[in-house]
Amino acid sequence: MTSSRTAAGRGTATPPGGVRLPFPIIDEVSRHCLSDDEPETVHVEVHLPGRLDPARLRTAFRRALLTHPRVLMREVPGRWHRQSFAWELTGEPDSDPVSFTRPGPDALGRARARALTECPSLALSPPMRLEVIEVHGGTAAGGPPEAGVPGATRTVLLLTMHHTALDAGSGLRVLATTAERYGGSAALPAPRPVRPDPPGPAPAATDGTGRAVCARPVRVAPDSRPEPVRARAAGNGMLQAELPVPPRVRRTGGLAPWTVNDQLLVAASLMVGRWNVSQGRPAGPVRITMPVDDRPRGREMPMGNGTRLVEVAMTSEDPRDTDLLLGERPDLAAVARLLGTTARRTRALKSAQGAPLGSGASLLTARLLPVGIRGALTRGARRAAAPWTSTALVTNIGRVPYSLDFGDAGRANAVWFSAPARMPRGLSVAAASTDGRLHVTLRWSRALLGDAAGAHLAGLFEQSLSTTSQVTRAGSNAWGFGPEADIPEADATARDPEAPGARDKACRPGGPYDRDALRPDPTPGGSRSARENRGRPS
């Protein structure tokens, strides 16, 4: 017989109020390390072409919450000497989490700023809020309307969650259930991620003699602002871009040479390397934290923080490739070698099993000491391990596995999300694919980078992703690979690699901005789309 505690943890039955669940490892570590300067928020942004009925949406969102009762939770208050943190499942929302923002030219920008600065309370159920913003005219990417074309009213759903409780996958699943309830039709079953077994051991990061190199990962170089200015900066900045989905290559022997996800990882490593060189920093080993989500995508999907974090070494097996990769024009052969090495590493990491945050986190959260002492030890260990923290976080949902069909309001034509960018890492890249386009969010700590530096980094990422796409297309022609059929895995994102509006413009590292390059955002929240930034003077 399944207990109410077990059923509630899986989200398969509506539990009675008062059921308590101990914090999982990821939740406890996050709870110990909360900071007012850098709120631990995750934001999911869904763009719809039409308008929503407020009453119907409130009802649909409430029914979605009841369908996933594990979301209806709040932290149980307690003293420092208690043995564990606990969630209390309430069965009903403590308050209405849906709000409708007053329309205006900067309504979406202000809502994005709130998503970065105002964290939902853990003391109220659910630890999330949904803002509905009506935007008059413009494009799905947030850009200005075309000249002479009357703009229709469209809707943006902006879901903000406390990352101690929930992740982007959980929030997207709640929005998918909301769409089903609002539109009145059940969505098609979402495929579960496929993890093929790697053909052999993953290549290690080695020097010229084949010996493993144990070196600290390189840090993202701070920008040129004066040190006192950076020290006083708080919160995160954010920039969103709509890009063409990188091409894929056909599988050979059951495996693709590399995936879209691998291209994102390589593009992020090239972005960091070229940025550091432009800031006068020496090249060094880049390590990227990559969340791996093996949960089913249907209504039975477990809510909460359901990913495990792995670190991918973004170093070539041949050390001579470093100079070839970080030149003004990266050597395509060196990029191809790094793509192949990265693909073998990520396949091994995805298929392996392990603790969500490693054995160290499991030891720190063992219930042998009161939570107050465990918290002090966790924060001390985090500070001590800061030099070995990965360079950046790259998270890729891939092709959004839900139709997000809101009936008369239409289907989602753009989905963005972002992950926290707390120091000492200070940088995260998030990607999702919808309607044949890649929606990328760059988020950074203001203690590390300003808005101008964030826009420069976004331009470097776009240029680096264009380079990996060139390598993939060249490899498809040279090796006989062709367009690949749809594959139900988390990083199979492309429907149309050559979607209209593909842009290959970029800016040189350290050089002046291109006329069409990403611009810094003057808004207080530092969060506008790339197209909207290009539409305004710098």
Residue 313 near residue 293, CB atoms below 8 Å = no
Residue 268 near residue 394, CB atoms below 8 Å = yes
H or E stretch covering 335:
helix 332-351
The predicted structure's pLDDT at residue 367:
84
Return the structure tokens found at 336: 């191809």
Dist. CA 62–CA 66, nearest whole Å: 6
Return the structure tokens found at 531: 């197209």
Nearest by Cα to 261 from 454, 465, 411:
465
Residue 307 near residue 167, CB atoms below 8 Å = yes
The predicted structure's pLDDT at residue 155:
94
Half-sphere exposure of 338 toward its Cβ, with a 13 Å CA cutoff? 33
Residue 256 near residue 249, CB atoms below 8 Å = yes
The predicted structure's pLDDT at residue 264:
96
Residue for token pair 């990227």: 288
Residue 70 near residue 302, CB atoms below 8 Å = yes
Dist. CA 312–CA 264, nearest whole Å: 12
Residue 159 near residue 130, CB atoms below 8 Å = yes
Query: What are the distances in angstroms from CA 513 to CA 220, 444, 452, 519, 526?
Result: 20, 20, 10, 8, 18
H or E stretch covering 308:
strand 308-313
Q: How many CB atoms lie within 10 A of CB 105?
A: 10
The predicted structure's pLDDT at residue 13:
43
Q: How many CB atoms lie within 10 A of CB 537?
A: 5
The predicted structure's pLDDT at residue 509:
32
Half-sphere exposure of 144 toward its Cβ, with a 13 Å CA cutoff? 8
Residue 354 near residue 299, CB atoms below 8 Å = no
The predicted structure's pLDDT at residue 326:
87
pLDDT in tens, 520-534: 333 334 444 444 433
Strand 19-22 to strand 86-89: parallel, antiparallel, or no bridges (unpaired)? antiparallel
DSSP state string for 404-455: -B-GGG-B-SEEEEE----TTT-EEEEEEEETTEEEEEEEEETTT--HHHHH
Dist. CA 486–CA 164, nearest whole Å: 34
SS (H, E, C) 192-240: CCCCCCCCCCCCCCECCCCCECCCCCCCCCCCCCCHHHHHHCCCEEEEE
pLDDT in tens, 36-55: 888 999 999 999 999 999 99
Q: What is the pLDDT along the chain (538 residues), one digit of tens a residue?
A: 333 333 333 344 444 557 899 999 999 999 999 988 889 999 999 999 999 999 999 999 999 999 999 999 999 998 888 888 999 999 999 999 999 998 888 899 999 999 999 999 999 999 999 999 999 866 555 555 544 444 578 899 999 999 999 999 999 999 999 999 998 877 666 666 666 665 555 565 544 333 334 678 999 999 999 988 888 888 999 999 999 999 887 766 667 788 999 999 999 999 999 999 999 998 889 999 999 988 888 888 999 998 889 999 998 888 888 888 888 889 899 999 999 999 999 998 988 877 677 777 877 888 888 989 999 999 999 999 999 999 999 999 989 989 899 999 999 999 999 999 999 999 999 999 998 899 999 999 999 999 999 999 999 999 999 999 998 887 654 443 333 333 333 333 333 333 333 333 333 333 333 333 343 333 334 444 444 433 333 2
pTM: 0.82
Phi-psi region of 42 (alpha: psi -120 to 50; beta: other; left: phi over 0): beta
The predicted structure's pLDDT at residue 93:
94
Return the structure tokens found at 125: 């159920």
The predicted structure's pLDDT at residue 156:
96
The predicted structure's pLDDT at residue 294:
86
